Chain A
Amino acid sequence: MNKLDVVGKREPMLDAWEKATGRARFTDDLAFPGMLYGKILRSPLAHAKILHLDLTGAEKVTGVKGAIGGEDIPKKKYGIVPMAKDEYALAIGKVRYVGDEVAAVVATSLDAAEEALSKIQVDYEELPAVFDPVEAMQPGAPVIHEEVHNNVSASIRKEFGNVEKAFGESDFLFEDTFETQAVNHCPLEPQAALAVVDPSGKVTLYASTQIPFFLRRNLATTLDIPESKVRVIKPKVGGGFGQKIDLYAKDFCAAFFAMKTKKPVKFVYEREEVFTSTRQRHPMHIQLKTGMRKDGTILAQQFKVIADGGAYNSTAPLMITLACYFIMLPYRLENLLFEGYHVYTNKPVGGAMRGHGIPQVRFAVEAQLDHVAEKMGIDPLDLRLKNAFQAGAPHPAKLRVQTCGFSDTLKTAAKGIGWEEKRGKLPFGRGVGLAGASFPSGVSNMSHISSGAMVKIERDGSITLLTGAADIGQGAETVISQIVAEELGVPLEDIRITAADTEITPLDPGTFGSGVTLRAGNAAKIASQEAREKLFEAVAEKMEVNVKELEARNRRIYVKGSPERGMSFKEAIKFYQYSDRPMPIIGRGSYQPPAKEPTTLLKEDGNFSPAYSFMTQAAEVEVDTKTGKVKVLKMVASHDCGKAINPMLVEGQLEGSVVGGMGQALYEEVITEKGRVLNPSFLDYGIPTAMEAPSITSVEVETNDPEGPFGAKESGEGTQLAPAPAIINAIYDAIGVRFKTLPVTPEKILQALDEKKKE
């Protein structure tokens, strides 16, 4: 590949300064004249019939401009996965968890809105509730959604190869049960929406969202208005981690009240609401059986997974499907039997969260593999290397893996942590561990998953880029701008970007499935090339050379190999203009991942993603055997991201994933008691802080994927899969205890050490 000027460079995020100086404007920073403030009344009960809802008290509060219940807003179900829609903007007839939306009010001040909530009368008839998914599946368990039998709202049973036969041929069989906990995404910016209606009746919704275009579509269908009457604009977003790929009452209520009152309406959730009433990582109960051949080959695996979905579906079918298919990467696995259930309970709702169904099963596999290795007398690293998937190998579910740096990530992570010197050799209380994983770089084959971009070359030589990509803090706008700058041969500072406005920018599915860089990056690349070609044609004519001989670089366009034979970018634009070519110079790009064997995986196998990332994380921990506290000393995150368009941003993702993984492994849990969240605040819910962060080394393994822009694959969600099991495996190395239930708190460690002493 040619030497690159902008791509591959450590560029600070374009809006870093804005954020660091407090100038960045998030949804809650926006205000319009006459704006009303909205609040939502939530159910205090886990499961109850709404017998009567009386809003008159609220309506009488001075300043209140409207109060509604589920019956007052169009009664259309919404949901992010069309086949799994099961939620109303506000509850109709019954509530299914503590925090379920019952009514909404708007008022001229937040004080009045809060006061109004306290004046709403609701008569409930409490229903028996169920909080454990295994109990919820039993016959006779409380019915949470009338139409759903045994509370199983999504399930999958898939077999690849022949598991029974493979177990028969196995030399060793291992069976374990694992449990993972509920974890909240904790974006620093809570969910927010601000709706404004213009005189024509069109609603503009400013929303803290990862999916502006899906939000537009769902607003239109749910509120029964044409899509053309809805515009969604994403201001700066303070993190999402998957929680904001969903739709919430705040979106529908803001738009509805704005239409009704003709006034701007803002809803912002409290932190408590983020914990109780948005989404969380599904707790899973995982039974795993693995068959091994003597030589260390993983012959077969059988899973039974029960995911606690909480009261609604959100992404249920997709989540459980992803959990299944991504068992078959990053290791070769010919025989898999996967049985998975998404079960309703009267608890906070599960949803997509960084890794989306995969981290839980990955934890089970990686923790068990370490145990397998020990029992078989094989080094866990060697066992992984032996079974590592390789590029181009046939895949049982027909995933098409063109590039795969997994083995390299294993080796570099092991080297970085000092595996040879340390594994099994450190003093009691200290240990190292590692774990691997793989993730799709976006979703290939759902026909609506494509991205567009438009690149305008302005007369002053600057570039205007329009992209639908939704930057939620990860730096998508920076990365896409780098791609455009590289293609046009201009520095990054020449790019102005407008993004994620459904009225102005081209279609984009949004930020999920780790597809933004590949998909929106490719669209922008194509658009830049088209614009560049137009300019090149003019320059070629003037210089009497072939277009193919030209190159754009350092704000110049010249004959390849002889920079002196050419002209500046600006001169080229001037010439283009004066040669009576049509202005403006616009390049357009649309990109859809190739869909050779169409699949959403929900119905049939096929190539799910255009490219797959691979990774290994290695941890070194110190366990204080007197108090049970684990200190993560060091993490090495080695990631095959294809090509790091911006290494600093890849590092940002890896560092975030380490702290997130520490949370999942050691600190975090949304604790509920009879469906009520006991710790709905940053004080009581323990996300690790900077004080807990270990020393982190990031290693980018580059494999230059043919499908990715400049070879890039994902480095977002996937990074979150390996750190937790790596830490758990390191704890085993340190104290010889295998933990199968997360999080591993100091209390559990003390108990385990006690039991170990007794043995």
Chain B
Amino acid sequence: MRLPKFEYLEPKTLQEAVRALASDAKRSVLLAGGTDLLVNMKHRVIEPKQVINLKTIPKLAYVKNVKDELRIGALATLHDLSSSRVIQERFPILSHVATKVGAYALQAMGTLGGNLCQGNRCRFYNQSAFWRGAKPPCYKAGGKLCHVVRKPGECHSTYCGDMAPVLIALEAQVRVVGPNGERVLSLSKLYSRDGKRPLSLRKGEILKEVLIPPPSGKTLYLKWRRRESIEFPIVSLALHIEKDGTEKIGKARIIFSAVGSGPVETIGAEEMLESSSLDNRTIERVSNQAAKEISPMRTSIYSPSYKRRMAGILLRQALENFQIPNPK
């Protein structure tokens, strides 16, 4: 499969990139590692007029401590994350998760920014032009219907990224740069939960860096997939727990990937956990609640009921892991 024709730009600065992007936002795309974008372009679901390469812009691939905060440049690769001393020491969970993305080659090419901004997925969308040719194009591919749910106007494509759930659990923020300057928003707010346009970035905005507050509590990430390599999650879970000084749970964050149009936080389950103690009954109730709270769609070869079930199982396992005095 070949790439469609496009104009190619190598801006020297982020400002230049923002200008180029803003000038024709609808028909332009940003290229980082390309591991997500280029596949979609070969499949002809994205056919941009202009490709703007971010990798040629210097100094966007850093990992550094600024006071207590950790800052990661959007162009840092996943391999940078897993091999960075600083991250290994302060946020070992992040290096761990980076090694769970796809396979090694993808980690070497793929960037954190690209991972967070990657496209939503659907079994009718992430297919070649030939494959899609037999059916009329779906809503996300520019058509007028959805092959998953027959409700008009809505795309249920699924966010399957690995890094976002953990970073949201760590309360990360992102700094974006646009025609009107910079703004900082919580990572969770980056996602619009609209399958067709899953990011809330405004016209001409580029993700510049990820900001992570000092670590507190404990974070766990469980990724459920068939094989230990290559694959996106069937469903995955980031769980973050902080004790309240006693034996009770002070703060809990439960975030799933691959079960909705963006990372999915199960607030009901979180509330149930907070100020409870981690006894078996609570674990059972909370996991059931979380499984109920999500509403996966049939956007992959796995059924929604299976995803739901595995979401509950993963949460149970994660919580049980916290019952042990010194969890992994």
C-alpha gap A750/B227 in the complex (Å): 17
**Beta-carbon contact of A684 and B301 below 8 Å:** yes
Interface residues of B in 20-65 (CB under 8 A from A): none
**Beta-carbon contact of B131 and A692 below 8 Å:** no
**Best-surrounded residue of B131, B224, B232, B309 (most CB of chain A within 10 A):** B131
Which residues of chain A are within 8 angstroms of B316 by Cβ–Cβ distance?
A: 626
Given A114-B2, A626-B317, A671-B301, the answer on whether A680 and B227 have CB atoms closer than 8 Å is no
Whether B6 sits at the interface, judged by CB under 8 Å, is no
**Beta-carbon contact of B1 and A270 below 8 Å:** yes
Instruction: Produce 1/0 per residue, B271-305, CB < 8 A to A.
Output: 00000000000000000000000000000011000
Interface residues of B in 298-328 (CB under 8 A from A): 301-302, 306, 309-310, 313, 316-317
**Beta-carbon contact of A627 and B224 below 8 Å:** yes
Given A626-B313, A684-B301, the answer on whether A676 and B230 have CB atoms closer than 8 Å is no
C-alpha gap A667/B228 in the complex (Å): 12
Contact pick for B228, options A270, A676, A679, A692, CB 8 Å: A692
B294 CB → nearest A CB, Å: 17
C-alpha gap A625/B130 in the complex (Å): 41
Whether B128 sits at the interface, judged by CB under 8 Å, is yes
Which residues of chain B are within 8 angstroms of A746 by Cβ–Cβ distance?
A: 226
Main secondary structure of the interface of B (DSSP, over half): loop
Whether B153 sits at the interface, judged by CB under 8 Å, is no
Which residues of chain B are within 8 angstroms of A691 by Cβ–Cβ distance?
A: 227-229
Instruction: Produce 1/0 per residue, A735-751, CB < 8 A to B.
Output: 00000000001110010
Which residues of chain B are within 8 angstroms of A42 by Cβ–Cβ distance?
A: 130
C-alpha gap A690/B131 in the complex (Å): 30
**Beta-carbon contact of A679 and B301 below 8 Å:** yes
Whether B133 sits at the interface, judged by CB under 8 Å, is yes
**Beta-carbon contact of B131 and A627 below 8 Å:** no
Whether A686 sits at the interface, judged by CB under 8 Å, is yes
Given A111-B2, A270-B1, A750-B309, the answer on whether A680 and B131 have CB atoms closer than 8 Å is yes
- Give the number of residues in A that approach B within 8 Å (Cβ atoms): 31
Whether A45 sits at the interface, judged by CB under 8 Å, is yes
Whether B10 sits at the interface, judged by CB under 8 Å, is no
Which residues of chain B are within 8 angstroms of A747 by Cβ–Cβ distance?
A: 302, 306
Whether A562 sits at the interface, judged by CB under 8 Å, is no
Given A111-B2, A688-B227, the answer on whether A272 and B131 have CB atoms closer than 8 Å is yes
Whether A683 sits at the interface, judged by CB under 8 Å, is yes
C-alpha gap A44/B131 in the complex (Å): 7
Whether A393 sits at the interface, judged by CB under 8 Å, is no
**Beta-carbon contact of A627 and B226 below 8 Å:** no
Instruction: Produce 1/0 per residue, B132-175, CB < 8 A to A.
Output: 01100000000000000000000000000000000000000000
C-alpha gap A40/B316 in the complex (Å): 50
Interface residues of A in 680-704 (CB under 8 A from B): 680, 682-684, 686, 688-692
Instruction: Produce 1/0 per residue, A352-370, CB < 8 A to B.
Output: 0000000000000000000
Whether A110 sits at the interface, judged by CB under 8 Å, is yes
C-alpha gap A272/B132 in the complex (Å): 13
B122 CB → nearest A CB, Å: 12
Interface residues of A in 214-268 (CB under 8 A from B): none
**Best-surrounded residue of B226, B228, B229, B309 (most CB of chain A within 10 A):** B226
Whether B202 sits at the interface, judged by CB under 8 Å, is no
Whether A678 sits at the interface, judged by CB under 8 Å, is yes
A117 CB → nearest B CB, Å: 8
Given A270-B1, A627-B313, A747-B306, the answer on whether A683 and B130 have CB atoms closer than 8 Å is no
Which residues of chain B are within 8 angstroms of A692 by Cβ–Cβ distance?
A: 227-228
Which residues of chain B are within 8 angstroms of A472 by Cβ–Cβ distance?
A: none
Main secondary structure of the interface of A (DSSP, over half): loop
Whether A211 sits at the interface, judged by CB under 8 Å, is no
Which residues of chain A are within 8 angstroms of B317 by Cβ–Cβ distance?
A: 626-627
B315 CB → nearest A CB, Å: 12
C-alpha gap A682/B230 in the complex (Å): 8
C-alpha gap A219/B131 in the complex (Å): 30
Contact pick for B230, options A114, A118, A683, A745, CB 8 Å: A683
Interface residues of A in 309-367 (CB under 8 A from B): none
C-alpha gap A177/B60 in the complex (Å): 60
Whether B69 sits at the interface, judged by CB under 8 Å, is no
**Beta-carbon contact of B2 and A98 below 8 Å:** no
Contact pick for B231, options A98, A272, A683, CB 8 Å: A683
B158 CB → nearest A CB, Å: 14
Given A272-B131, A678-B123, the answer on whether A110 and B2 have CB atoms closer than 8 Å is yes
Contact pick for B134, options A98, A114, A118, A680, CB 8 Å: A98
Given A114-B2, A627-B224, the answer on whether A676 and B231 have CB atoms closer than 8 Å is no
**Beta-carbon contact of B128 and A272 below 8 Å:** yes
Which residues of chain A are within 8 angstroms of B5 by Cβ–Cβ distance?
A: 111
The residue in chain B whose Cβ has the minimal distance to the Cβ of A668 is B226
C-alpha gap A636/B26 in the complex (Å): 58
Which residues of chain A are within 8 angstroms of B229 by Cβ–Cβ distance?
A: 689-691
Instruction: Produce 1/0 per residue, A94-133, CB < 8 A to B.
Output: 0000100000000000110010001000000000000000
C-alpha gap A667/B225 in the complex (Å): 11
Given A627-B313, A747-B306, A750-B309, the answer on whether A667 and B227 have CB atoms closer than 8 Å is yes
Instruction: Produce 1/0 per residue, B227-262, CB < 8 A to A.
Output: 111111000000000000000000000000000000
**Best-surrounded residue of A98, A627, A680, A750 (most CB of chain B within 10 A):** A627
C-alpha gap A747/B302 in the complex (Å): 9
Which residues of chain A are within 8 angstroms of B230 by Cβ–Cβ distance?
A: 682-683, 689
C-alpha gap A683/B226 in the complex (Å): 11
The residue in chain A whose Cβ has the minimal distance to the Cβ of B222 is A627
The residue in chain B whose Cβ has the minimal distance to the Cβ of A680 is B131
Which residues of chain A are within 8 angstroms of B127 by Cβ–Cβ distance?
A: 680
Which residues of chain B are within 8 angstroms of A682 by Cβ–Cβ distance?
A: 230
**Beta-carbon contact of B227 and A272 below 8 Å:** no
Which residues of chain B are within 8 angstroms of A680 by Cβ–Cβ distance?
A: 127-128, 131
**Beta-carbon contact of A686 and B309 below 8 Å:** no
C-alpha gap A111/B42 in the complex (Å): 11
C-alpha gap A118/B301 in the complex (Å): 28
Interface residues of B in 90-148 (CB under 8 A from A): 103, 123, 127-131, 133-134
Which residues of chain B are within 8 angstroms of A671 by Cβ–Cβ distance?
A: 301
C-alpha gap A627/B311 in the complex (Å): 11
C-alpha gap A539/B134 in the complex (Å): 73
The residue in chain B whose Cβ has the minimal distance to the Cβ of A683 is B230
C-alpha gap A671/B300 in the complex (Å): 12
B128 CB → nearest A CB, Å: 6
**Beta-carbon contact of A676 and B134 below 8 Å:** yes
A654 CB → nearest B CB, Å: 21
C-alpha gap A627/B129 in the complex (Å): 36
C-alpha gap A626/B123 in the complex (Å): 28
Interface residues of A in 704-759 (CB under 8 A from B): 745-747, 750
The residue in chain B whose Cβ has the minimal distance to the Cβ of A272 is B128
The residue in chain A whose Cβ has the minimal distance to the Cβ of B305 is A747
A505 CB → nearest B CB, Å: 35
The residue in chain B whose Cβ has the minimal distance to the Cβ of A675 is B134
5 pairs of A and B residues whose beta carbons are closest in the complex: A44-B134, A691-B228, A44-B133, A689-B229, A686-B226
* 10 residue pairs A–B, Cβ–Cβ below 8 Å: A44-B133, A111-B2, A114-B2, A627-B224, A680-B131, A683-B230, A689-B227, A689-B229, A691-B227, A691-B229
What 7 additional pairs, Cβ within 8 angstroms, besides A114-B1, A270-B128, A679-B301?
A42-B130, A272-B1, A671-B301, A680-B127, A683-B231, A686-B227, A692-B227
